[in-house]
Structure 1
Amino acid sequence: MKTWLICIDDTDDIGTKGTGEIAQEIAELLCEGEGESCSFITRHQLYVHPDIPYTSHNSAMCFRLRSNKPLELIKRLAVTHLSGQSAAASDPGLAILDCDSQFSRAALIRFGLEAKEQVKTKSEAYELALLQGISLSEHGGTGQGVIGALAGIGLRLYGQDGRVKGQVDLGQEGHEGGIALTVKEALRLSGLDCVVSLDGRKLRSDEVLHLSNKAKAVYCQHQFALLVYWNKDRWCNALKRHLKEY
């Protein structure tokens, strides 16, 4: 069983299926074998600039796959779905990293962090992918999505970036005023790894959370974490402004 990181970018257009939804479908498709599994999907925000074409937010979607499938089959299945589901006006890119191979984690992380703050080029992405043995390919339009796809791999390796796709539903949205439960209960119900405060402290299993409205998880300290903040003498799920860091 091998571990892979798979990332896609630039698959959608206004009014079409989102990149996150397509990533979820690819993940489900790839982990259908016995014992195979996929992680939560992380959304990585990239640089927003007039020189970078994007639909709305310029973000890449990445997930970890544990599978016995060979690279050729993983790529074929992913490409077939990506090509069939991407919007006509999109510029899809796909990156696949064999986590058991020899590669420079530092170089990939550097590329990912730079892609959050500056304009990168396709040639830079392809050159780095070749050096690091990463399968990087474009599947329509200008193929600009290869930049974000490779950047998303680097940011997932960084371990301190990305929001987890979807909401953390622990029943709080159906209760006026929210609900209270312990960290242990929240982790059991959500499948997340930990609960983390804004300053990076992991909460104890017996600490009580007060959750309301929409709760989001982030990728923090290489774990999937519910982000919380201290408000009026209690721990509450992070607000939109707190999540901007991820």
Structure 2
Amino acid sequence: MIYIGIDDTDNLNSRGTGHRARKLAGLLKRYGYDVYGVTRHQFLVSPLIPYTSHNSGACVHVKAEKKEIGYITTLAREFMVENFVEDSDPGLCVAHDSEITSEVVNFGFRAKVEVLSKEEAYSLAKSFKIHLEELGGSGLGIIGALSSVGLAYLGNDGRFIELGRTRDLKGIVSVKDILDSGVYRVVSTEGQVLKECEYVETTGWVRPVMVAGKPYLIVERKNGRWEVVGKTFSL
């Protein structure tokens, strides 16, 4: 698997980094790459960090061999340069799973609770020969880009904002349809695994969480029916 982390690609008037990551995923698909999904990862919200709106990064998961990393990096870089937004500070990180170490994963977890520096991000990437570059502005987005890669690789953080046909699910649908769309399991907040014959109100927002590298859709019982939990829910 090759992971493409991006961050700080937006300004207050533009679409967010998640939207940009999904567009990049679409581009890679058009070039014939098998994109597994796109995950969103939340970092520390602090007045010491000049984030745009929510301080979150995104990671595109591509099922590709290490030999493809050069071309994929070129495609990602060209896409980000062409879609540069004024006053943004974009960063790009591209790594094959064989290059991602516990130190990189730990850096991602630290970004959720600490204020980190570009210097440390570059030093870490250089140590493990991971591609990391800034593509405009202050380049602070490299911190979130590297962090997104580490967290996505670990597989126990973030939500899938692009996965199979999940974004097409609207209204009340069966668990079977949810599973067929790309979700691994539908589970209640109490840990109950729903059966295929049961139904769920999607509320127009199907964003599975990543658990052990797999997409789980979390639901709760509300008004006598199963309903997808909101954005504020966390495992």
Scaled by the length of structure 2, the TM-score of the pair is 0.88
Aligned partner of residue 90 in structure 1, secondary structure: coil
Q: What is the match of residue 179 of structure 2?
A: 187
CA shift in 2, pair 1:119/1:154, >3 Å: same
One-letter amino acid of the counterpart of residue 79, structure 2 = H
CA contact (8 A) 1:52 1:119 kept: yes
CA shift in 2, pair 1:11/1:180, >3 Å: closer
Q: What is the match of residue 56 of structure 1?
A: 53
CA shift in 2, pair 1:202/1:110, >3 Å: farther
CA contact (8 A) 1:230 1:236 kept: yes
**Identity over the aligned pairs, expressed in percent?**
36
Shift in Å at residue 67 of structure 1?
A: 3.4
How big is each residue's C-alpha offset from its partner over 1:85-113, in whole Å with a ceiling of 9 and x where there is no partner? 121111100001112x2442x22221111
Task: Within 5 Å, give how 1:14-25 maps onto structure 2.
Answer: 14-25=12-23
Cα RMSD between the aligned structures?
2.2
- How far apart, CA to CA, are the structure 1 residues paired with 2:57 and 2:10? 11
CA contact (8 A) 2:3 2:94 kept: yes
Select 2:81's aligned residue among 80, 83, 90: 83
- How far apart, CA to CA, are the structure 1 residues paired with 2:138 and 2:223? 50
Structure 1 residues without counterparts, runs of 5 or longer: 173-178
CA contact (8 A) 2:173 2:202 kept: no
CA shift in 2, pair 1:239/1:144, >3 Å: same
- How far apart, CA to CA, are the structure 2 residues paired with 1:215 and 1:27? 19
CA contact (8 A) 2:201 2:225 kept: no
1:137 aligns with 2:150: no
1:171 aligns with 2:170: yes
Select 1:216's aligned residue among 201, 206, 214: 206
CA contact (8 A) 2:187 2:218 kept: yes
Shift in Å at residue 77 of structure 1?
A: 1.4
Q: What is the match of residue 62 of structure 2?
A: 65
Shift in Å at residue 118 of structure 1?
A: 0.8
CA contact (8 A) 2:169 2:206 kept: no
1:229 aligns with 2:220: yes
Structure 2 residues without counterparts, runs of 5 or longer: none
Q: What is the match of residue 6 of structure 2?
A: 8
Shift in Å at residue 4 of structure 1?
A: 0.3
1:116 aligns with 2:102: no
- How far apart, CA to CA, are the structure 1 residues paired with 2:184 and 2:89? 34
CA contact (8 A) 1:51 1:119 kept: yes
Q: How many residues of Structure 1 are paired with residues of Structure 2 in the alignment?
A: 230
